[in-house]
Amino acid sequence: MVSKTDEQTVREGFWPKIATTAARIPFSDEALAAYYCATDSATPLRVKATLFGALAYFVLPLDMIPDVILGLGFSDDMAVLITAFTLMKKHITSDHRDRARTTLDLIRKGKQPLA
């Protein structure tokens, strides 16, 4: 079952977080593809639950290693996201990945992303 808390946390906090971190973190494309997969109505419930949980960890400001610590701050977020991404990769489609690349290009150009 998808945790309403995780889903709500992600839906409220994902776009502000990715907009401020996209240029600084090497896993932005994976985070975006995971977001698009988690919000896709065709994605199985267990996959959504896993991805929303991992994305909520990324969005929350307090975690094992605070994001403000230069060089290390996103390492725990990356580990959680990459693990979830790897476990659920067969559900993350080329459409999710294409949308992630397009959105990341828009963000890096300072334009409004397509939610």
For the stretch 13-68, pLDDT in tens is 888 888 887 777 788 898 999 999 999 999 999 999 999 998 988 887 665 555 44
What pLDDT is attached to residue 36?
96
CB atoms within 10 A of CB 21: 18
- Domain ranges for the chain: 4-108
Task: Note whether 92 and 34 are within 8 A (CB).
Answer: yes
pTM: 0.80
CB atoms within 10 A of CB 8: 12
